[in-house]
Amino acid sequence: MRARLTALVYVPIALVLLLVGLLYAASVTRAQQQDVFLDRLRDVSYLSLTARQAILADDPAIVAVDLERYREVYGVRSAVVDQAGVTLASAGLDVEDYPERHTAVAGRRSEMAASFWPWDVDEIVVAEPVFDGEDVVGALVSVSDTRALERSIWLSWGLLTAGGVAVALLAVLIADRTAGWVLRPVRVVDAAMERMGSGRLDERIPPSTGPPELREVVTRFNEMAERVEHLMRRQQEFVANASHELRNPLNALMLRIEGLALTVPCEQVEDVEHVRAEAVRMAQILDALLLLAEDGSSGTAQPVDLVELAARRIEGWRLLEDGRTVRLATPDRPVWAAIDPTALGTALDTIVDNALKFSPASEPLEITVADAEGRCEIVVRDHGPGVAPDQLERLTERFWRSPGHSNVRGSGLGLAIASELLASAGGGLRLELPDDGGLRAHLQVRPWDEERP
């Protein structure tokens, strides 16, 4: 947006500068040519006095000295012709090559060339008629090259270009500052939205921010923020109430089941175990629902060594799943990531639990910590049945379960919880189907980089 506004301000200025520069360059060029032409014309007018005397006396020596001196001092060739156009005296000039002498003998002064570009004119020719009273008795012709004039014009153009570049750079700076000034209220609104998106629901924008057109947007944003904050507080209150109202009866039910297990006959112990398992499953589903209701919120990101976290969590799973083979492959150095350790640990536990649940007990579970291409990740690879390729994208949907795994315990919330936890912490969950079967889950997180301790 800033670049577009800068261009919007700068382009008209640049076009005006270009147009004015071209017109000024043409004007300077024309003015310098006219100055040179008029200077030569004054010189010829002065020499015409001596030329008239030489023509009337038919004595070339009278004017030859002046013509030669003029050539030595100014480098201008010149010649005097009589009324018939025959050369009377010359200082390095053959007037036969210049038809302007006929115009002068006819009583008219030669005109300056209309072209103003320096490379279009090689010589400046001035032909002045010589009068005796009202009669034309001859003409004086001077020819000078334009090298000095061209150098002067190129120098003027160079100075003009340098000045134009300086003004153009100044215009860029002014345009950029102007765009920044125009967008300053927009940045204030954007910063407030970003803070609100990061969880600061009480964020508001001062109503006087920006021009009247933007103030209407600010008013709408503040109204929306009020509604969002109200709804979020209602949701949090609902989650807290649901947690309190559901956990207490569930805990009481589990205590009663434990007490019942001590008094039932032996032939009914299996039924009690089934009831206990269902109660535990209800508690797990409740925890998952409450976690999703809280929108997977996580704490502040901090430096976490993925190698140490994975090793600690895998050791706990080895103790719980005695006899299962869990292989951990890590680099020889720490892999620092920026994430909330609780969110990452919960997501990893969920993925591992899901992998152990669906893979055969005889197959190992492979866990790898990697740091490549500017991204840190923990990869969990199981050798279970996997899913069909068209079902892969649905694995992170809430409560969705593959038709082929409906007989496996679970609620269909595991991968959904892991995905939302990672997303809320600035990471992500990517699932793949290896060629040799099973499922590969990539728990991707942001590297700590220069903030590394």
In a 10 Å sphere around its CB, with 0-12 CB exposed, 13-18 middle and 19+ buried, how is residue 81 labelled? Answer: buried
Residue 333 has pLDDT above 80, yes or no: yes
271 and 405 inside one domain: no
- Residue 266 in any domain: the answer is yes
Instruction: For 369, list phi and psi in degrees, rounded to 5.
Output: -105, 125
**What's the rounded Cα separation, in Å, for the pair 445 and 304?**
10
Computed on alpha carbons and rounded to an integer, the radius of gyration of the chain in Å comes to 48
Q: Which pLDDT tens digit goes with each residue over 171-215? A: 888 888 887 777 777 777 777 777 776 667 777 778 777 777 677
pLDDT mean over 24-42: 84
- Residue 405 in any domain: the answer is yes
The count of domains in the chain is 3
Alpha carbons within 13 angstroms on the beta-carbon side of residue 435 total 0
**What's the rounded Cα separation, in Å, for the pair 251 and 70?**
121
**CATH number of the domain encompassing residue 359:** 3.30.565.10
Q: Which pLDDT tens digit goes with each residue over 274-331? A: 777 777 767 766 665 566 565 545 456 788 898 998 888 888 777 666 667 888 888 8
287 and 378 inside one domain: no
**What's the rounded Cα separation, in Å, for the pair 335 and 447?**
8
* pTM of the complete model: 0.42
147 and 13 inside one domain: yes
Q: Which pLDDT tens digit goes with each residue over 241-280? A: 776 677 778 888 888 888 877 787 877 777 777 777 777 7
Higher-scoring residue by pLDDT: 415, 378 = 378
Length in residues, the chain = 453
Q: Which residues span the domain enclosing 254?
A: 230-293
Instruction: For 433, list phi and psi in degrees, rounded to 5.
Output: -110, 105
In a 10 Å sphere around its CB, with 0-12 CB exposed, 13-18 middle and 19+ buried, how is residue 427 labelled? Answer: buried
Residue 401 is predicted with a pLDDT of 65
- Residue 210 in any domain: the answer is no
418 and 310 inside one domain: yes
Q: Which pLDDT tens digit goes with each residue over 386-430? A: 788 887 787 777 666 666 555 555 556 677 777 877 877 678 888
**What's the rounded Cα separation, in Å, for the pair 27 and 45?**
26
Residue 436 is predicted with a pLDDT of 82
**What's the rounded Cα separation, in Å, for the pair 348 and 344?**
6
The residue out of 264, 293, 322 marking a domain boundary is 293
Residue 120 has pLDDT above 50, yes or no: yes
pLDDT mean over 111-118: 64
Contact 88, 57 (CB under 8 A): no
Alpha carbons within 13 angstroms on the beta-carbon side of residue 66 total 20
What is the identity of the amino acid at 146?
T
311 and 234 inside one domain: no
**What's the rounded Cα separation, in Å, for the pair 425 and 420?**
9
Closest CA to 361 of 385, 404, 325, 318: 325
What per-residue string of b and e applies to 179-206 under the rule 16 or more CB within 10 Å gives b? beebbebeebbeebeeebeeeebebebe
**CATH number of the domain encompassing residue 62:** 3.30.450.20
345 and 287 inside one domain: no
- Residue 267 in any domain: the answer is yes
Alpha helices, DSSP H, located in 321-434:
341-358, 414-424
425 and 373 inside one domain: yes
Residue 451 is predicted with a pLDDT of 46
413 and 283 inside one domain: no
Residue 363 has pLDDT above 70, yes or no: yes
- Residue 397 in any domain: the answer is yes
The residue out of 106, 137, 153 marking a domain boundary is 153
Contact 206, 191 (CB under 8 A): no
The residue out of 272, 293, 314 marking a domain boundary is 293
The residues, ordered by sequence, that sit 6+ positions from 201 with a Cβ below 8 Å of its Cβ are: 225, 228, 229, 232, 233
Residue 164 is predicted with a pLDDT of 84
Residue 453 is predicted with a pLDDT of 43
